[in-house]
Structure 1
Amino acid sequence: MQLETVRIQLTEADTHIALFRDVANVGALYGRLIAKNPEFEYAFIDASTIVSPLHLLSAIFRAYICYATGKLQTNNIHSEIVLSLSPNNNINESYRRWGPTPGKTKDMIVVKVVPDNVSEPRPTADGIRAHLAQHIDGRSVPFSDEEIRKSTDRSKVTKYYKLKCPTLDNLKDPAQREREEERLVIMGMALREL
């Protein structure tokens, strides 16, 4: 199983990220998430709404800053990651759009943030990898630009981030359009509270 571990500079946390394709048990995972099962304290994200690793890492960084400064708007850092993906402060809408939807979500990104101040036993990459492999019925793929872009639903991204703009529409080069789309999405998230 593929699991990426990222140490975001300026934070004191290990962030573990996995991308799964063709997840067959989204409903069961969603049920455990809604039931607030402590074994499933992860951010579950519909991969079709993410345009790049930088897009997701920007949301993780923002959520961590809220966590570190005691300004979480949600119950924990994992739900704050889902909220941080949104260009507005509507928590329910954020869960509906960026969270997994039983019967609709095929590809899913799973994020586990382990701050340094977590009491023992501290979750390890191997333990997280084993837990996800045991409970997620899907194919693990690398968390990379290429793999994420295979899952991205451009119509959802355009709708959720209100990306209808002539500048983006006039770009013919796909790579240039993807870079501009990523920039606009991250700007939308950053400007959320202004």
Structure 2
Amino acid sequence: MLDTIALDLVPSDHQVHVALFRGVQNAGFLHSQLLARNAAFEYAFIDASVVASRNQILAAAFRALAAKLSDNLKTPNVHSELVTSLSPSNNIADAYRRFGISPTTKDLVVVKITYPSDSAPTPVSRDDIEKHLAENVEATPAEFSDDELAVSTDWTKVKKYYKLNGLPWLDAIKDEQERKLQMDELVLGAMALRGV
């Protein structure tokens, strides 16, 4: 299931396509394609265990697109920029290691950002992206929703990576949904403050 999302404040010909996969069997292969810089696999492959919400992915996509549109990418392309935009720090290698795919990734968020360029005035279509993912990702597709993401989220990792441990007020929240909502807001805040 590929979800196509139009972001506000971004040109309408720039689209974000997102898919969630469970039980990935070929994470090592996908990881190797990224390392080889295979252009056919130019996606943001994100380990779903560190994703707290849809908003986290969409905020990172917006930040990456804003960097691309202002010619301010700090990484090789908009997809690697998206992965680093998930991080609360400026350490690019650390962001890839923590948030990107690894050979042991089980659940995966895949993001493809399409836009016209000089070399490709007509961007790759949604159908072509969906077909390519179906042929190359050995996993079960799932809906890209907060409820489905929550199944994969490792809150211990999220709290560690975003430095949310040791917050007594957060731990004191009894309602699990409210606590997760507060953590999601803290994650988005940490991403927004990166580099400030």
Q: Is TM > 0.5 for Structure 1 vs Structure 2?
A: yes
| Aligned counterpart, 2:10 | 11
What are the superposed Cα offsets for residues 101-130 of structure 1, whole Å, 9 maximum, x if unpaired? 112x10000000012446245201100000
How far apart, in 1, do the equivalents of 2:103 and 2:139 lie?
14
2:111 maps to amino acid: V
- Equivalent positions of 1:34-73 (< 5 A) are 34-73=35-74
In 1, Cα distance between the equivalents of 2:113 and 2:51?
A: 18
- SS of residue matched to 2:102: coil
**SS across alignment from 1:89:** coil
The CA distance in 2 between the partners of 1:15 and 1:32, in whole Å, is 21
Distance 1:29 1:182 in 2: 28
* Number of equivalences: 192
Structure 1 segments of 4+ aligned residues over 6 angstroms from their partners? none
Which residue identity lines up with residue 191 of structure 2 in the other structure?
Answer: M
Q: Which runs of 5+ in 1 are unaligned?
A: none
When normalised by structure 2's length, the TM-score is 0.96
Q: Does 1:135 align with 2:136?
A: yes
Gaps of 5+ in 2: none
> Does residue 98 of the first structure (1) align with residue 92 of the second (2)?
no
Matches within 5 A, 1:38-187: 38-103=39-104, 105-117=105-117, 119-164=120-165, 165-187=167-189
Question: RMSD between aligned alpha carbons?
Answer: 0.9
SS for the counterpart of 2:75 is coil
The percent of aligned pairs where both chains have the same amino acid is 45
TM-score (norm 1): 0.97
CA distance in structure 1 between the partners assigned to 2:117 and 2:171 by the alignment: 46
